[in-house]
Structure 1
Amino acid sequence: MDRERSKDVIRCEQRGSRTMGCSSTMRKSMTGCVMTMALLCAAGVEAQEVVPDTVTESKVLQEIVVSAPKVLHKSDMDLYIPSADAKALSKNGMQLLQNLKIPSVTVNEVLGTVSSLGSAVEIRINGRVASVEQMKTLSPDDIKRVEWIENPGLKYKGANAVINLIVRNPGLGGSFMVQAMPALNTPWGQGSASVKLNNGRSQWGLDLTGKVTDVDVYREYYETFTYPDGSHLTRNESPLGGKAKESNAKATLSYSYIKPDTTVIYASLSGFKNFSSGEDYRGLLTLSDGTDKVGVRDKDSSHGLTPRASLYVEQHLAKNRILAIDAGTSFYRGFAGHHHSENGAESGDMITEVDTRIRDRNYSYAIEANYTEQWRRSRLTAGVSYNGSSNQSTYENLGGEKYHQNQNNVYLFGEYMHRIGKVTLTGGLGAQYSSFKLRESGLGNHSWNLRPRLTLSYRPGNASRWYLAFYSWQVSPTLSETNSVAQQIDAFQWQIGNPQLHTYNNYRIDAQYSYSGDRISGTVGVNYLFSPKSIAPFYEWQDERLVSSFENSRGRKWFSAYISPDINLIPGWLNLSGYIRYGLTNTKGMGYNITKYNWSGEVTAMAYHWGFNLIVQYNHNATTLIGERETWGEKVSLAMLAYNWQKWQFGAGMLCPFNKYDQGSRLLNHYNTNEKHMRLDLASMPFIQISYNLQWGRQKRGVDKRVNADTSVEQSKAGSR
């Protein structure tokens, strides 16, 4: 059974980086390099002067940096200065990020993803959390530098890695950007438009994004049920067709006021509309007991509206002392449904029909404050945040019964960084209070948990760096995992949440070595993660029903080792990068002890010259094991050629030119062993891209937002296969 929370755990598992360049060369010898595995990353193009701004000026940070013309290596991040060539090849912020070729970062503009070693990367714009869609609305000329934070501190709340795009200083002017990317052989496409107007210290912005997906899919599925008496029943589903839909749009209106080094105010209103999303499969079941074949339909769907509002204030109290406060709220009103029906293939008689319909009215509200003080060789950061939610779910299939859940989280942290010569030490402690309660039953739980973090970084020279870290974070149970309403999935299976679940801890150790050279760079590293009471599903027979619920299991362990090379094969012409990773996972729970290993990796080749940019990419995402369910990641390939002409960019490409799209999972439970493959007919999918970028005057810098209140709102999920 797929789990809503798995992405929250997995995104924190897979870290790593490789170091590579974008706008100049670093003159360093590789004599005595420890990396016997040939760390193959490169640096190319040309040097450019770094113009200080109010955020990065060295006299403000009071920090000595190891610098090359294209990359500045700081104690807690790498700063990438985009070259004129990289900007010329790009028409938006996402394209520029790809053309910078930051080590271990994989950018897929077609799928709209940014990842590092297979895990999602948190995107920020001038310090505030942003989406990939918002990054696409940035003009490359406005991006002054990109901060790559591969080992985020406590204030980032467990983010796997962070990319922070810093845009230009305040000025007068405006910009208009528009981009469209439609497919040629299937109903699929995405687009965006952005307008920004500046007046003195103020800036108004309007951003629009949208996506349409309505593609043919099919599912291959088999399952074997083992009854308590030891008898078996196998059902094999042959695909007859299906559809996958995802159509949405978002509008954001923002206002900012900046008085440099004194006051910053930022306010935004946004609305996200999910018009339709879900999957609809049709198939034919063959049963091992010899009974007649059964026609099956399995459909999941959702739609809804999510408006958000936020207000941010930053005040510089004194030299190198900053207080920042962020508050926000969001509201979700939507629908989630699951329909499953089985009927005789010949007779047409209905055998089983399941129709779950849930309507949500969910609120979320949050406030966060951070204080930062810097000295010549040290920095102190402290903060406190609160976020809460109130969720109401109405089950239409149960006669309109309503269920309510309240959640509250408080987080406090303090972190101190100090540099001693070539060594940087960071230590901090966070504390999190989590609680949830179901109004109707009065059931719920609450807990306090600590988040220690210790890191050591040693940089013997400009080109190499050693890093060691220990840290922890917590994962709270989701709305679906704690909802005690019984939901039927199909003729055999039911799902019910567990309101007695506890928030659980994750403890992790990272060790890595990175090297950045003239033509060759890269990173090798290892990771170890231990989650003593991770949440996972369990299964048991109750009469004639196989019921799945959730438990705080006996633990989950994960180990990985990786190498991430990068080669600048022909400077200014051809670059090759990628990674390969070995992962080993062990899970223990009610009646199982499973160990699995897997390999994952990615390779990207970029050729660029005379205004052309050719990208060829293949990505094999890692397989994950949560409880008894093994889920393998996407296998995606991409080829795209783009050409820049004045304010225009024209491109054409193909998604999955080298492979068939396949995503699925396998359940290894004693009572239910099943395997599912979801395949899309969009492979191979040709597409075109057209972009236009018009600017006038000097562009105003976006707000440097140092804290971000988390106002994400949960949604119900109808139980499904």
Structure 2
Amino acid sequence: MTVCLLAGICHAQQIRISGKVLEASTKQAAIAANVVLQTNDSTFVNGAATDNKGIFRIEKVAEGSYKLVISAIGFKKSVIDLQGLSQSVDLGTLELEEASQQLEEVTVSATNVVSKFDRKLVFPNKQQITASNSGVDLLRNLMLPRLNVNPLDGSVSLNDGSSVQLCINGRKVGKEEIQALIPSDILRIEYLEDPGLRYGDAGAVVNYIVRRYELGGSVSTSAQQSPYVMWGNYNVSGKVNYKKSEFGIWYGAYSHKFENAWRTNEETFAKEDGTFLHRTEEGIPDVTSEYAQWGGISYNLQEADNYMLNASVGFWNENKPRTGFHSTLYTREYPELATERLDFAHNRNSRPWFDIYFQKELKKKQFLALNVVGTYIGSHNRQNYQEILDNEFVADYFSGVQGDKYSIIAEGIYEKTFKKSRFSSGIKHTQAYSDNEYSGTLNYNTQMKQADTYAYAQYNGKWKKMNYTLGVGVTRSWYQQIGQEDYETYQFNPRFSLSYTFNEEFYARMNGSLNSNEPSLSQLSAVDQLIDSLQIRRGNPDLKPYNNYRLNLTLGYNKKKVQINWYTNYRNAPDVIMEQTYRENGKFIRSYANHHRFQSLENELSVRVGMLWDVLQLRGSTGLSRYWSHGTDYNHTYTNWYYELEATAMYKRFMGYFMIQSNRNSFFGESLSSGENLHVLMLQYRLGKVNLGAGIINPFSDNYKREQENRNRYAGSKGAWHVKESAHMAFLTFAYNFSFGRQYQSKNKKINNSDTDAGVL
């Protein structure tokens, strides 16, 4: 009993609440402001006053739920609700408004969210941390608006399909490093729903602010494995710290093999002579498999509020030894000629990289950062396509690609902070070279050079209750394929954002942007690849960049434990690069071209409720999307309705999770791609530093499938990909995390670059 009491006292002494208080109107430090920590029934617990820099610290806080009240003469009181406090938190910069203005309190409730003008600061509570095995689990348990976290592979995306940039202390990382994070080491998560020009075309940014150790380190391990299917995900990572230095290492892998995967498909071909071919593909269950491993080491040297140097090297290796389909192919016009179809590929890809980053705090609130990233991408892909009739080959194609791509990315940014605003600018240059050798039935060699330069300037300010951002960027792109003419283009990229807070419950935000989209190296490759006996994939070196115009409107309502958000997103892309299918010498050529226009209108309503009874939280969303594809020789429209429901129950050491979602389909060009019709049920139990769990995928369905459709008038198709093991598939989870040493918060790295485009058709 004595040992337990002493351990509880030591743990309580580790919790600290800190932050910095500024006067909202002048951005100057609020000196001698009163900071009082109270229980929910307003009982005094502890207090402090801000120093001459506006900084406060409250030490030796026990676990529990509190209110932090900040007040000063002539200013409106600010109240921050800290529910389920279980670890030290840095609240960042808080602002006090003048009492003469019509102002509201700043309240953090339910999910412990502090809303800033450009981001949300999310502080996980004790239940959410206890119920999580990794950084991905924690993000899922927070149920942030618009964010979809796949509970199976850990991928993170927005509901509209836009990319999400993941960061750890400001440094861009992949989901693999997020999966390796220890939840108790995560101080807060910064969620940027409207990233600026520096983040390119990212739809959102999720930045994990993680503890940094002065001495000691941490180790994290996790695994997810089905007991009767070869399906598993594994991660291990570690960090060691000594004073200003930190050494890190991480490794992860996944292994997926299914014995019963097949494809069904209906195809219609309109030949040049006016006749038709109708083909039906009936899949035969066969094996498909994929494996991957990744890892890296890093070194970080930093002095708080002065400089930071980060250097890392890593690798990603992926091996898909057998992906494809075994089927029987029937032709309506020739019913007696049913053929056996074998369409299998073996793909191997490797991507080693290095990343060097340096940032420096300058005088007069100025900031400078530099980043260099080098990447090699090696691609080794092989595909075999065969059609067999009466034990004889009707078609027998082989294609292989060996690709090598080298790239270097260099970027620098500068920021200057004023009393009520901030100016930022930057320049980024990418230089790449690729050499791809296509062998097999057809043989080609392509060599391509690429150079992109992007410069931007952006200004953030505040006027009364409105925050605004104005920015402009210029992109210069240059491509050259050996043996072809090179081309050079310049694109103008303006951007704006306006947000207005009506009261403490309701806000609105609008942002618009014009982004240039370049053709990928693979789309520009002037090569042919055989798809099957009737179809050929071909690149187009005549493609030109196009502009994407976007306008977004967000309405938000927050009342105690209820959060309601409405999103509308409109996209207009004239001269867009979309698919182009045409007939040539009895074959159907699948290529790309600049078309008239693509438009989409997406609407979504999202509601979150919780924590109810400090146990249950719910999130539901529903949306309606409309797409218009106006090609040079086709016009298509498509409408999709979808929904998603999530529920998380957390009680003591137990956590239960249920998710169900319908297909969120997307349409582009002439192709319809379906989302996952998926539901997952999980239960976990924490035993000390070990977290054990079990789950099941699609417990109420016996058929997992992903549908696709092509509406081309010459070569249309409609089919689905099936995996039997993805229905009723049970799995077990295991996680063991521990850390040691004193802790303090890391600086944020503000430049994030990577290259993942192999340039292979």
Same fold (TM over 0.5): yes
Paired residue for 1:451?
Answer: 493
Paired residue for 2:550?
Answer: 508
Identity of aligned residues (%): 25
**What is the 5 A alignment of 1:423-438?**
423-438=466-481
- CA drift of 1:78 comes to 0.8
Paired residue for 2:718?
Answer: 675
Which structure has more relative contact order (CA 8 Å, sep 6+)? It is 1
Paired residue for 1:477?
Answer: 519
SS in structure 1 of the partner of residue 630 of structure 2: strand
Equivalent of residue 305 in structure 1, options 350, 353, 356: 350
Q: Distance in 2 between matches of 1:173 and 1:626?
A: 51
Paired residue for 2:121?
Answer: 79
**In the alignment, is residue 395 of structure 1 matched against residue 411 of structure 2?**
no
Paired residue for 2:752?
Answer: 708
Q: Distance in 2 between matches of 1:693 and 1:516?
A: 35
- CA drift of 1:102 comes to 1.7
- For residues 355-398 of structure 1, give each alpha carbon's deviation from its aligned partner in whole angstroms, at most 9, with x where no partner exists: 11000111111011111111232111111001121111112226
2:126 partner amino acid: A
**Native 8 Å contact 1:72 1:80 kept in 2:** yes
Q: Distance in 2 between matches of 1:491 and 1:560?
A: 38
Q: Distance in 1 between matches of 2:611 and 2:246?
A: 43
**Native 8 Å contact 1:268 1:309 kept in 2:** yes
**In the alignment, is residue 248 of structure 1 matched against residue 292 of structure 2?**
yes
Paired residue for 1:68?
Answer: 108
Worse-superposed segment, 351-360 or 539-548: 539-548
Worse-superposed segment, 442-451 or 320-329: 442-451
Gaps of 5+ in 2: 1-63, 69-80, 97-103
- CA drift of 1:51 comes to 4.1
**Native 8 Å contact 1:387 1:710 kept in 2:** no
Q: Distance in 1 between matches of 2:141 and 2:441?
A: 53
Paired residue for 2:391?
Answer: 348
Q: Distance in 2 between matches of 1:261 and 1:551?
A: 50
1:403 partner amino acid: T
- CA drift of 1:123 comes to 0.9
Paired residue for 1:697?
Answer: 741
- For residues 29-88 of structure 1, give each alpha carbon's deviation from its aligned partner in whole angstroms, at most 9, with x where no partner exists: xxxxxxxxxxxxxx99546898437xx34489xxx9934262111101111112222222
Q: Distance in 1 between matches of 2:223 and 2:539?
A: 42
- CA drift of 1:540 comes to 1.4
Equivalent of residue 332 in structure 2, options 276, 288, 292: 288
SS in structure 1 of the partner of residue 367 of structure 2: strand
Call closer, same or farther: CA 1:289–1:438 in 2, change over 3 Å.
same
Q: Distance in 1 between matches of 2:496 and 2:295?
A: 40
**What is the 5 A alignment of 1:253-332?**
253-276=297-320, 279-290=323-334, 291-332=336-377
**In the alignment, is residue 199 of structure 1 matched against residue 199 of structure 2?**
no
Worse-superposed segment, 123-132 or 238-247: 238-247
Q: Distance in 2 between matches of 1:221 and 1:526?
A: 34
Q: Distance in 1 between matches of 2:86 and 2:262?
A: 51
- For residues 520-546 of structure 1, give each alpha carbon's deviation from its aligned partner in whole angstroms, at most 9, with x where no partner exists: 111012111001011111111112111
1:633 partner amino acid: G
Call closer, same or farther: CA 1:399–1:701 in 2, change over 3 Å.
farther
SS in structure 2 of the partner of residue 66 of structure 1: coil
Worse-superposed segment, 560-569 or 350-359: 560-569
Equivalent of residue 229 in structure 2, options 161, 173, 186: 186
Equivalent of residue 562 in structure 2, options 483, 496, 520: 520
Call closer, same or farther: CA 1:397–1:112 in 2, change over 3 Å.
same
Call closer, same or farther: CA 1:231–1:65 in 2, change over 3 Å.
farther
Q: Distance in 2 between matches of 1:637 and 1:516?
A: 28
SS in structure 2 of the partner of residue 537 of structure 1: strand
- For residues 412-471 of structure 1, give each alpha carbon's deviation from its aligned partner in whole angstroms, at most 9, with x where no partner exists: 1111011112111110001111222111x2234321111111111001223221111111
Call closer, same or farther: CA 1:50–1:459 in 2, change over 3 Å.
farther
- CA drift of 1:634 comes to 1.6
- CA drift of 1:309 comes to 0.4
**Native 8 Å contact 2:496 2:511 kept in 1:** yes
Call closer, same or farther: CA 1:601–1:122 in 2, change over 3 Å.
farther
Call closer, same or farther: CA 1:700–1:305 in 2, change over 3 Å.
farther
Paired residue for 2:24?
Answer: none
Structure with bigger gyration radius:
2
Q: Distance in 2 between matches of 1:701 and 1:276?
A: 40
Q: Distance in 2 between matches of 1:80 and 1:373?
A: 26
Q: Distance in 2 between matches of 1:394 and 1:453?
A: 40
**In the alignment, is residue 158 of structure 1 matched against residue 201 of structure 2?**
yes
Worse-superposed segment, 459-468 or 393-402: 393-402
Gaps of 5+ in 1: 1-22, 28-42
**What is the 5 A alignment of 1:479-628?**
479-568=521-610, 570-628=612-670
Q: Distance in 2 between matches of 1:555 and 1:278?
A: 38
Paired residue for 1:335?
Answer: 380
2:449 partner amino acid: N
2:341 partner amino acid: V
Cα-Cα RMSD: 2.3
Worse-superposed segment, 153-162 or 370-379: 370-379
**Native 8 Å contact 1:369 1:385 kept in 2:** yes
Paired residue for 2:409?
Answer: 366
Paired residue for 2:428?
Answer: 385
**Native 8 Å contact 2:89 2:188 kept in 1:** no
Equivalent of residue 408 in structure 1, options 451, 454, 458: 451
Q: Distance in 2 between matches of 1:194 and 1:586?
A: 46
1:201 partner amino acid: K
**Native 8 Å contact 2:379 2:758 kept in 1:** no
- For residues 271-310 of structure 1, give each alpha carbon's deviation from its aligned partner in whole angstroms, at most 9, with x where no partner exists: 1111336522000011111242111011133102211001
Paired residue for 1:40?
Answer: none
**Native 8 Å contact 2:603 2:623 kept in 1:** yes
- CA drift of 1:697 comes to 1.1
SS in structure 2 of the partner of residue 272 of structure 1: strand
**Native 8 Å contact 1:605 1:615 kept in 2:** yes
- CA drift of 1:408 comes to 1.4
Paired residue for 1:38?
Answer: none
**Native 8 Å contact 1:44 1:572 kept in 2:** no
Paired residue for 1:34?
Answer: none
Q: Distance in 2 between matches of 1:65 and 1:410?
A: 44
Equivalent of residue 52 in structure 1, options 78, 81, 90: 90
Paired residue for 2:49?
Answer: none
- CA drift of 1:684 comes to 2.1
Q: Distance in 1 between matches of 2:284 and 2:527?
A: 32
Call closer, same or farther: CA 1:49–1:399 in 2, change over 3 Å.
closer
**Native 8 Å contact 1:579 1:603 kept in 2:** yes
Call closer, same or farther: CA 1:445–1:242 in 2, change over 3 Å.
farther
